[in-house]
Amino acid sequence: MSIIYTKARKHNIQGILDLIQPYVEAGAVLPRTTRDIMDHLDNFFVAKVIKDGQTIEERSKIVGCVALRDFGDGLEEIRTLCVHADYAGQGVASHLIDMCFDLAIGRDSKEIFALSLRPTVFMRKGFHTVAMNQLPDKVWKDDEVSSPDEKAVILATRDSYLPE
């Protein structure tokens, strides 16, 4: 078995929706629609599992996803980071975060934030917790940003995700 990481494509959208649904119901990530994934497909990455002898449909099973949202002024958000429970603890989320870092570097971004119930995964990648007021007001006014009530606000600055 191997896990491959790619930019998301149109035919991955249903797999992304299926993957995130239990985490949406648990309140870990915000719901997404086919339309908004389609509109932001260039910002999505997926992890797919490939096992020997599987059919093409099975090969396209999505076991991880993430999106990097551009907030403008060099600020980005990592969102919709989900990994199927059967593939947890194998570094899939870590790899998906690395892909966001590469995209952020390509866009010349300065900071990346996330709101998460699982901040340790991000901390290992150089994020640190910050107060809400360290992010601009436009973040908190945005309808598509999670409520920070129960989630940690975490931030990585460019220095922490630039390659050494």
Ligand X SMILES: CC(C)(COP(=O)(O)OP(=O)(O)OC[C@H]1O[C@@H](n2cnc3c(N)ncnc32)[C@H](O)[C@@H]1OP(=O)(O)O)[C@@H](O)C(=O)NCCC(=O)NCCS
Considering the complex, state which of residue 32 and residue 56 has its C-beta at the smaller distance from ligand X: 32
Taking the complex as a whole, the smallest distance from the CB of residue 79 to ligand X amounts, in Å, to 6
The Cα 114–Cα 48 span in angstroms is 23
Residues that bind ligand X (CB under 6 A): 23, 28-29, 79, 81-83, 88-94, 114, 116-118, 120-121, 124
Task: State which residue, 38 or 88, has the beta carbon closest to ligand X.
Answer: 88
Of 56 and 83, CB closest to ligand X: 83
Min dist CB 121 to ligand X, Å, is 5
- Please count the CA atoms within 13 angstroms of the CA of 40 that sit on its side-chain side: 18
Q: In this complex, which beta carbon is closest to ligand X, that of residue 13 or of residue 78?
A: 78
Query: Which of 40, 58, 41 shows the shortest CA–CA distance to 49?
Result: 58
What is the closest distance, in whole angstroms, from the C-beta atom of residue 118 to ligand X in the complex? 4
> What is the smallest separation between the CB atom of 45 and ligand X, expressed in angstroms?
13
Between vectors from CA 128 to CA 122 and to CA 132, what angle results, nearest 5°?
Answer: 110
Give the DSSP per-residue string, 61-118.
-EEEEEEEEEEETTEEEEEEEEE-GGGTTSSHHHHHHHHHHHHHHHTT--EEEEEES-
